[in-house]
């Protein structure tokens, strides 16, 4: 089992991507510390996992520095270490508004959430990983980190920022044996079906085009990715397991390109 005896905190664990990564980590042997704001949602998901001895849940706002630090300390007290910290939180934000009409609040909202929470969660874990001289930080972005397209300036900047933070985490922490990897999937149709906040985010663009979100993603799948399809939740979760495992021990400071070829290096 790739993650046997590893303790993993997953922020955003009740979400479409977070729940798939959490399940895959669990099946790979990890002890899970699942985090979100809504504990009921977390507990409902946690109850579906086979080994309840290896699952804990906590309601923590990832943008609250003190709450995240307190929770991280509680995890270490209970489990002895934080081996993996994953930030896959996601929040509704405005897309589809032209630059000339975009308010500074709507522009800054995703930047604030994603940059603030990634800084806070990584730092809280790093403090406990440094003395152990090992650990893995995982984050998530989208192709928006590189695209010049219209209507997602704030979110695009947030994604570029997450990838920049990933490089800095790797640079600051490499000497302590701590790795940092960002996952960059293209849009995942299954996530929309699973109730992801991205459904509401994409609603404006699909309404403007006069088609459903599913049709919009199907058109994108045919025109963008070299593989003529979009990534699955399982593919993202399996990559997260690999990147978090010792099989990826030489990999740090990089972005795992899960775009099915809609972006190439």
Ligand X SMILES: NC(=O)c1ccc[n+]([C@@H]2O[C@H](COP(=O)([O-])OP(=O)(O)OC[C@H]3O[C@@H](n4cnc5c(N)ncnc54)[C@H](OP(=O)(O)O)[C@@H]3O)[C@@H](O)[C@H]2O)c1
Based on the shown chain and the rule CB under 6 A, indicate whether residue 118 belongs to the binding site for ligand X. Answer: no
Q: How far is CA 77 from CA 26, 44, 74, in A?
A: 20, 25, 5
State which residue, 108 or 130, has the beta carbon closest to ligand X. 108
Nearest to 140 by CA among 42, 256, 265: 256
Based on the shown chain and the rule CB under 6 A, indicate whether residue 17 belongs to the binding site for ligand X. Answer: yes
Residue of 3, 111, 187, 240 that binds ligand X (CB under 6 A)? 187
| Chain residues 128-157 in contact with ligand X, contact rule CB under 6 A | 140, 142
Nearest to 108 by CA among 66, 145, 153: 153
Nearest to 178 by CA among 126, 134, 241: 134
Based on the shown chain and the rule CB under 6 A, indicate whether residue 65 belongs to the binding site for ligand X. Answer: no
Based on the shown chain and the rule CB under 6 A, indicate whether residue 235 belongs to the binding site for ligand X. Answer: no
Give the binding range for ligand X (CB under 6 A) out of 1-9, 70-78, 125-133, 186-194.
186-194
Instruction: Name beta bridge partners: 186.
Output: none
Q: How far is CA 231 from CA 27, 50, 79, 217, in A?
A: 21, 26, 34, 11
Smallest distance from ligand X to CB 32, Å: 13
Sort strands 84-87 and 7-11 into parallel, antiparallel or unpaired: parallel
Based on the shown chain and the rule CB under 6 A, indicate whether residue 14 belongs to the binding site for ligand X. Answer: yes
Smallest distance from ligand X to CB 15, Å: 2
Give the binding range for ligand X (CB under 6 A) out of 1-9, 76-84, 87-95, 221-229.
87-95
Smallest distance from ligand X to CB 167, Å: 18
């Amino acid at each position: 089992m790739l993650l046997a005896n590893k303790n993993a905190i997953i922020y955003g664990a009740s979400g479409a991507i977070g729940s798939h990564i959490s399940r895959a980590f669990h099946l790979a042997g990890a002890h899970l510390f699942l985090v979100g704001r809504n504990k009921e949602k977390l507990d409902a998901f946690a109850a579906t996992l086979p080994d309840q001895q290896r699952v804990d849940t906590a309601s923590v706002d990832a943008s609250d520095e003190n709450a995240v630090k307190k929770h991280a300390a509680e995890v270490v007290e209970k489990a002895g270490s934080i081996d993996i910290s994953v930030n896959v939180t996601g929040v509704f934000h405005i897309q589809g508004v032209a630059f000339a009409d975009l308010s500074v609040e709507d522009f800054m909202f995703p930047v604030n959430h994603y940059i603030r929470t990634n800084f806070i969660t990584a730092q809280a874990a790093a403090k406990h990983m440094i003395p152990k001289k090992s650990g893995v930080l995982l984050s998530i972005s989208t192709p928006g980190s590189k695209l010049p397209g219209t209507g997602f300036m704030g979110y695009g900047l947030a994604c570029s920022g997450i990838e920049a933070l990933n490089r800095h985490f790797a640079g600051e922490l490499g000497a302590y044996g701590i790795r940092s990897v960002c996952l960059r999937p293209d849009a995942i149709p299954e996530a929309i079906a699973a109730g992801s906040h991205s459904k509401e985010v994409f609603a404006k663009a699909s309404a403007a085009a006069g088609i459903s979100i599913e049709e919009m993603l199907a058109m994108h799948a045919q025109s963008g990715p070299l593989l003529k399809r979009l990534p699955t939740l399982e593919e993202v979760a399996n990559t997260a397991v690999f990147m978090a495992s010792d099989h990826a021990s030489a990999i740090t400071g990089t972005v795992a390109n899960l775009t099915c070829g809609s972006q190439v290096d």
